[in-house]
Amino acid sequence: MKKIAWIGTWVMGNAMVQHIIKAWYEVYVYNRTQSKTDNLVAMWATYLDSIAEAVQKADIIFSIIGDPKNVRDTYFWSGWVLENISSEKIIVDMTTTEPSLSKEIYEAHKNSLDAPVSGGDTGAINGTLSIMVWGDREVYDEIYPLFELMWGTIAYIGWAGTGQDTKMANQIAIAGNTIGMTESLLYAERAGLDLEATMNILCAGGACSWGYQNLAPRILEEDFETYFFIKHYVKDMGIALWECERMNITLPGLELVHELYTRMMDKWEGDLGMQSLIIELKRMNEK
């Protein structure tokens, strides 16, 4: 069996790599904060002290590491991934990042896949993520059994950068769904409706969405811990807005949601989950 290195083991990455460990692959893990790998080491993964060592020991290198700057540093810094990788090894970056950066990595190492995911912490834990993949078909076919361990849906997009563009379309749709869900719950609350009954009725009709089914119950329980960090979503929306500017299109819904979440970031609420948008809406409506 191929040896696997996994770079980035916070929340999503930690849950995702567990599925690979449970399939009895030999797995090496690296995270800047070593304690974030302790549970994986307890499952028989091996912690390594450097990215360079992980790349040298493994046949396939996965990463999910925050934002475009982290991706660029991890792959292009001297002594890190691209400087230490041999041509036959495979890179799979699952970070949501800039399409242009994914193309740069592909040009530097053709045996690479760009595979951003959607489904949040529950999808990562349950192995039901949607994975959007671009890269050469033969590389995708080799990696597919590993994707199967984490997947709900796998979409092979094809050419360089389009996995990230598909993820941007996903994040734009989530922006609209999230503000619609939170606004409807705030309206229902102010109208004196039974919120649980309202949620159940809406989930049975045309208003239903994945967010309504999975995030609305958390709001009713005042559970604002992460499903997906605000700070990470603000990063994703920033990438989407940059791409919109490049393509000369205006998406006012995306711009509004980005503004609202940025306000929450300014209040040091970036570590809350996306469902906590209702907190900002309530603040806007305080009288």
Catalytic annotation, residues: 167
Distances (CA, A) of 229 to 225, 264, 273, 274: 8, 11, 5, 6
Which token pair is 154? 């796998």
Kind plus residue range of the DSSP H or E element containing 210: helix 210-214
- Render 118-162 in DSSP notation, one character per residue: ESHHHHHHHT-EEEEEES-HHHHHHHHHHHHTTEEEEEEEESTTH
Q: For 271, phi and psi rounded to 5 degrees?
A: -90, 5
Quick check: helix, strand or coil at residue 62?
strand
Distances (CA, A) of 279 to 84, 85, 183, 283: 46, 46, 11, 6
191-215: burial string, b at 16+ Cβ within 10 Å, e else: eeeeeeebbeebeeeeeebebbeeb
DSSP label at residue 204: T
Quick check: helix, strand or coil at residue 27?
strand
Quick check: helix, strand or coil at residue 104?
helix
Angstrom distance (rounded) from CA 20 to CA 221 = 33
